[in-house]
Structure 1
């Protein structure tokens, strides 16, 4: 509280010093009354803050019994060296690339860190621990020891779902994630907290409640300078609807909302003690957020006491992270590398969760363009088919799958498109072993672990010309191409035709190059080296 009042006095003095030069006598009087009211209000916050501090202390003191109970249930002997590392991943049962990172990291802990017990905070209350680990084995072929992992189930995951926040979605989900982190810390406090889903605002809750260090593996920044620029230039996009981009007033209001959000998101990321990112694109954006400043919002803090309090509460970390470290996601290239490179069928595969940003509709339009422009692919024996493989997390995803089926029918492609929803790992491997091409149409795909899987399996990647697939994955190897890039459905159709028209020598060569590059750069071994070098150990 003393620090809070010192900060307040400093802010008041700064505000008064600035006001002398820009306000007249009457405005000065109004400001003085405002400051008096604000200070009086802050004094009245002393008792609630004291009660909160006592509440947080109680949670920490009672955590010992909860911790010992969880360990005894697993049959683990409690020693002084034993440490718990918590992974905040409310959708741990989703079966996507982010989940592969989570479970590969936990498998690494189980193999190499005998004194560390992983704790996964999951919102999958409709599944048991055994069912979740069985799906991990089926989807990723990762075998985990259930006696060396704790699953803590969170009952309020709906608070971080898009559907819960139709307006101010970023803010709503961030507030929801803070409540979810509060629920997590109430149930079990680890020795180190790692967010693996992109909920940076939870760091503050973990600091307040648990007083432990926080780190993260960032797949995608919650907000970026690109998003601010798109709103400022009134560019329509996935995160900027036509209703807002066409209105100057709404665009200006949204820009201010984004500026405030970026300011506090930057503060949240800086409160981490280490940050891993999955690609050079993500690193550039995260490092940009870490160094972000907004003089206007800084100035507002000296006139709006609630903002001053918020700033104080979100800047408590004494060892803030300065930059992020690239740790490429793991890909199990060993099994896929056994697939033959020849005698592939004219099958295009798409491996991606049925989320809106994955742009699955673009794939259907591209296939329609391909068979329209090149009728040879309609001829029996030469027809091209598309296999869409992906996880469906909830009702919204299921609805998207239904819409895609309707679109395929509308484009007269229903006989050429197969949907494999929540398919087991073995089925995905079967599709990759026979397919010729793998397609990824997401704009600014932060990394694209599915693209690495295409290449490891000897499937020619055809990807969107942006972010991870462009800059990190589908890049020349020994000066020669490892795949193709496109942006529009028409461009995708043309590069699909190019890939399908290669001579047998060109076809084998590009598949071999892609596989060699994937195995060399994106193996589980490379991921483990990066994870171990991230600096997480010294915070235990």
Structure 2
């Protein structure tokens, strides 16, 4: 019997897409990208198979429990009865949980990033011993494996980069330390930067979650990308899920006509870098000044976020203690802890504003949530919120990166939100005062806006967010990347001998 290999270009050939995401069950922002990419890949072609390399949180974790968590958290439903054709093409490769310490920075008392880099290479090799994919997709950030994957194994790579693993800012910081320790630190970061550069060049398609991430990675590698190139390689995190058909039913007029309450919502994890305390301190100043500005009633603050045991609980307690110390009436600051999605949506659709106080938020998906639901964004003037999200709407469309630079003066009726800077910002200088107000002044300005002006800003925010981040925006660009990387995979496979092409 003459058994022939399947032709490389046979339309019925199965393609294995290896998603290397060690904590696929974690249900955070990175996992939202993972699962949106998985369902988009599976829907792209019936012959695509998603192979997910992962640890598990416990010995009794089941595939059902992971997919149920994905459904409940992200609204992506693989468990529907009519989705068996998708479930049948999801393969979990369980990496031994006893090796999870290899990529945990706290496992290494010194040289933690070197340890994690070596550990990630070991884990990739361990996974490939079980199943070797046709395309390697890194959605968690393990760049030191790329030379092995593409340079030696010739497996094409898609890398979704959430943040730069190594940056030139690290080198600058080490330089400023001085002494023997500073020299050693600088040398350590320099070696890491060279290793990072040697690996990242093997990526076939690099996707960045924001302009800030793209510019920092390119700067670290000494690449010079123009605005068009940067924009081409940005794939914003999925802000409206693949299955969120209810999103399409909410009309813009409906959002604009909603009766809004005088609330400022802060949707964020309870962590120090989110700067809740900074907001509380400036809110105290706002309460002392709002009457002088002719504002009859102050806006309330609403803190919404998931509460994990341990540090999160301690942090929330410290916020409540600060509120007590500043003698802010407790009814003016509301805490919504572990609120279900339906409650969060109600707050966003019934509140005037949404705020984000983090300095250099890489992207800022909560800010997009504000805008999609008609809550006017009040944000720190840096990184994702400034460069990618809260952008002007001119002549009926959101400005692109290159267009924004040319559009020097933003008119009031083009704005989609308000910005602030704070003197505690690491990069603060007094020149910022002329361009951006303080947090207190921004709060006062927001409270003093007329209904007509708020509605125009709200309308801009909704249109900008739907244009850039609406349902299907992620999938459209992801499909294009899948087509490009498969062309590379076909080319490599076609060069192999016939024995290697037997399936």
In the alignment, the residues of structure 2 paired with residue 116 and residue 218 of structure 1 have an alpha-carbon distance, to the nearest angstrom, of 23
Sort the Cα spacing of 1:172 and 1:348 in 2 relative to 1 into closer, same or farther, 3 A: farther
Indicate the larger mover: 201-210 or 124-133.
201-210
Matches within 5 A, 1:108-123: 108-123=40-55
Indicate the larger mover: 183-192 or 162-171.
162-171
* Pairing partner for 1:93 from 22, 25, 40: 25
Aligned to 2:237: 329
In the alignment, the residues of structure 1 paired with residue 264 and residue 444 of structure 2 have an alpha-carbon distance, to the nearest angstrom, of 11
Q: Does 1:405 align with 2:317?
A: yes
Sort the Cα spacing of 1:508 and 1:268 in 2 relative to 1 into closer, same or farther, 3 A: same
Aligned to 1:168: 111
- 8 Å CA contact 1:141, 1:425 repeated in 2: no
- 8 Å CA contact 2:299, 2:447 repeated in 1: no
Sort the Cα spacing of 1:267 and 1:95 in 2 relative to 1 into closer, same or farther, 3 A: same
Sort the Cα spacing of 1:269 and 1:162 in 2 relative to 1 into closer, same or farther, 3 A: same
1:399, distance to aligned residue in structure 2 (A): 0.8
In the alignment, the residues of structure 1 paired with residue 420 and residue 230 of structure 2 have an alpha-carbon distance, to the nearest angstrom, of 35
1:418, distance to aligned residue in structure 2 (A): 4.7
In the alignment, the residues of structure 1 paired with residue 52 and residue 269 of structure 2 have an alpha-carbon distance, to the nearest angstrom, of 21
Q: Structure 2: which 5+ runs fail to align?
A: 1-10, 241-246, 395-409, 425-436, 490-503
Aligned to 2:488: 539
Aligned to 1:134: 68
Aligned to 2:260: 344
Sort the Cα spacing of 1:188 and 1:459 in 2 relative to 1 into closer, same or farther, 3 A: same
Aligned to 1:447: 363
Sort the Cα spacing of 1:249 and 1:350 in 2 relative to 1 into closer, same or farther, 3 A: farther
Aligned to 2:206, what secondary structure does the other structure show?
strand
Matches within 5 A, 1:185-264: 185-207=128-150, 211-232=154-175, 234=176, 245=177, 248-264=179-195
Aligned to 1:159: 102
In the alignment, the residues of structure 1 paired with residue 112 and residue 338 of structure 2 have an alpha-carbon distance, to the nearest angstrom, of 27
- 8 Å CA contact 1:351, 1:390 repeated in 2: no
In the alignment, the residues of structure 2 paired with residue 373 and residue 153 of structure 1 have an alpha-carbon distance, to the nearest angstrom, of 58
Aligned to 2:434: none
1:322, distance to aligned residue in structure 2 (A): 12
Aligned to 2:116, what secondary structure does the other structure show?
helix
Indicate the larger mover: 284-293 or 107-116.
284-293
Q: Does 1:524 align with 2:471?
A: yes
Going by fraction, where is helix more abundant, 1 or 2?
A: 1
Aligned to 1:438: 354
Aligned to 1:220, what secondary structure does the other structure show?
coil
Indicate the larger mover: 122-131 or 451-460.
122-131
Aligned to 1:485, what secondary structure does the other structure show?
strand
Aligned to 1:289: 220
In the alignment, the residues of structure 1 paired with residue 284 and residue 477 of structure 2 have an alpha-carbon distance, to the nearest angstrom, of 42
In the alignment, the residues of structure 1 paired with residue 280 and residue 142 of structure 2 have an alpha-carbon distance, to the nearest angstrom, of 32
- 8 Å CA contact 2:304, 2:344 repeated in 1: no
Matches within 5 A, 1:296-311: none
In the alignment, the residues of structure 2 paired with residue 421 and residue 163 of structure 1 have an alpha-carbon distance, to the nearest angstrom, of 28
In the alignment, the residues of structure 2 paired with residue 175 and residue 150 of structure 1 have an alpha-carbon distance, to the nearest angstrom, of 26
- 8 Å CA contact 2:290, 2:298 repeated in 1: no
Aligned to 1:296: none
- 8 Å CA contact 2:41, 2:479 repeated in 1: no
1:271, distance to aligned residue in structure 2 (A): 1.7
Length-normalised TM-score, structure 1: 0.69
Sort the Cα spacing of 1:383 and 1:521 in 2 relative to 1 into closer, same or farther, 3 A: closer
Aligned to 2:255, what secondary structure does the other structure show?
coil
Residues 287-310 of structure 1 show CA distances to partners (whole Å, capped at 9, x for unaligned) of 2334469xxxxxxxxxxxxxxxxx
Q: Structure 1: which 5+ runs fail to align?
A: 1-78, 235-244, 294-320
- 8 Å CA contact 1:336, 1:429 repeated in 2: no
In the alignment, the residues of structure 2 paired with residue 522 and residue 421 of structure 1 have an alpha-carbon distance, to the nearest angstrom, of 26
In the alignment, the residues of structure 1 paired with residue 302 and residue 29 of structure 2 have an alpha-carbon distance, to the nearest angstrom, of 21
In the alignment, the residues of structure 2 paired with residue 329 and residue 336 of structure 1 have an alpha-carbon distance, to the nearest angstrom, of 21
In the alignment, the residues of structure 2 paired with residue 150 and residue 358 of structure 1 have an alpha-carbon distance, to the nearest angstrom, of 36
1:493, distance to aligned residue in structure 2 (A): 2.8
Indicate the larger mover: 478-487 or 411-420.
411-420
Aligned to 1:427: 343
Q: Does 1:484 align with 2:418?
A: yes
> How much is the aligned-residue C-alpha RMSD, in angstroms?
3.3
Aligned to 1:151, what secondary structure does the other structure show?
strand
Aligned to 1:257, what secondary structure does the other structure show?
helix
Sort the Cα spacing of 1:423 and 1:121 in 2 relative to 1 into closer, same or farther, 3 A: farther
* Pairing partner for 2:210 from 279, 283, 305: 279
1:205, distance to aligned residue in structure 2 (A): 4.4
Aligned to 1:367: 283
Sort the Cα spacing of 1:165 and 1:422 in 2 relative to 1 into closer, same or farther, 3 A: farther
In the alignment, the residues of structure 2 paired with residue 343 and residue 322 of structure 1 have an alpha-carbon distance, to the nearest angstrom, of 40
1:382, distance to aligned residue in structure 2 (A): 4.5
Indicate the larger mover: 501-510 or 156-165.
156-165
Indicate the larger mover: 499-508 or 437-446.
437-446
